[in-house]
Amino acid sequence: MSQSPYIVIANAQIFTAQVIEKSNQVPVLVDFWAEWCGPCKMLMPILSKLVEEYQGQFILAKVDTDEQQELAGQYQIRGIPALKLFRHGEVVEEMAGVQPESVLREMIDRHRERPADKLRLEAIAAHTAGDSVQAIALLEQAREMEPTYHAVQLDLAKIMIDNQRFEEAEQLLQGLPLSMQAETSVSELMAQLIFSSVAAKAPPNETLEKILGLNPNDLMAHYQLGARKVLEGDHETAMDHLLELMRRNRHFEDGAGHKGLLAVFTLLGNQGTLVNRYRGKMASLLH
């Protein structure tokens, strides 16, 4: 077995110190195995490769279930190989059987501290302090460091939206993997992008209200005021304007009323009394 300093032969006496407590510093992946287990031997080269690559960003703890039957029973090991990932003293993920390298890598990456995270924190602090130029520079540096760490891309898109750099924000969001684009956090950010870009071109709310008072059929005024109300957190008034847009012209701006309502539902978590009420109103207009 490898002599790596990042591989520990764990037993009941050192398990608390080397696994539970150590997991407060880095993820600890516990491999329950046995000498007679063929699949266990197939898995070990994959684990060794990851240990060598990550250089201490996670610890591999090997537990021989024949020698450590008490530990195996405590963690309800029914078959081997069995993997349990500990973080902050708790089992956060577990897998059974031989796993592909890509699956193991994704599991570890979800819980390890990444080099780019320090830059992300600095960027958020800079943006909060009003220095978006510095924030963007830090996030671009983080992207160069870890090109596949998509959380950096999301941080960058948020700052681009705040700075009305809408085309760049859209490119960042559309450049995410399709599986990630379906996530709620990305859908919410895309909704924010849509409403922010519309509101940025709009006159003040008072002007929009005067326009609608004189001409209730001004579709763009309904759309712009609806977008403004979304960003202000007045979702009910926003949805009233988007419904009015649907009622007067369902095809305006490529179905902006319908798409806008769906975007508001996303921002509201797609549940709740308000969403259900306006989803019913939208359905009555569609059918």
Phi first, then psi, for residue 180 (nearest 5°) are -80, -30
**Fold adopted by 7-109:** Glutaredoxin (3.40.30)
Residue 256 pLDDT exceeds 80? yes
Predicted confidence band of residue 185 (pLDDT cuts 50, 70, 90): confident
Catalytic entry in 2, 4, 34, 37: 37
Which pLDDT value is given to residue 2?
54
At 186-205, the pLDDT tens digits run 999 999 999 999 999 999 99
- Whether the per-residue pLDDT at 41 is higher than 90: the answer is yes
Average pLDDT, the chain: 93
Which fold does the domain 115-176 belong to in CATH? 1.25.40
pTM higher than the cut 0.85: no
CATH code at 199-286 = 1.25.40.10
Q: Which tokens belong to 154?
A: 């999301």
CA distance linking residue 283 with residue 287, whole number of Å: 6
Tell me if residue 37 is catalytic: yes
Q: Is residue 40 annotated as part of the catalytic site, yes or no?
A: yes
Q: CB under 8 Å to 33, separation ≥6 — which residues? A: 40, 43, 44, 62, 63, 64, 65, 80, 81
> What is the per-residue pLDDT for 147?
87
Among candidate residues 284, 274, 226, 233, the one with its CA nearest the CA of residue 252? 226
pLDDT band at 114 (very low <50, low <70, confident <90, very high): confident
For the chain, domain boundaries: 7-109, 115-176, 199-286
Q: Check pLDDT > 80 for residue 66.
A: yes
pLDDT band at 108; cut points 50, 70, 90? very high
Q: Which candidate in 40, 243, 245, 246 is catalytic?
A: 40
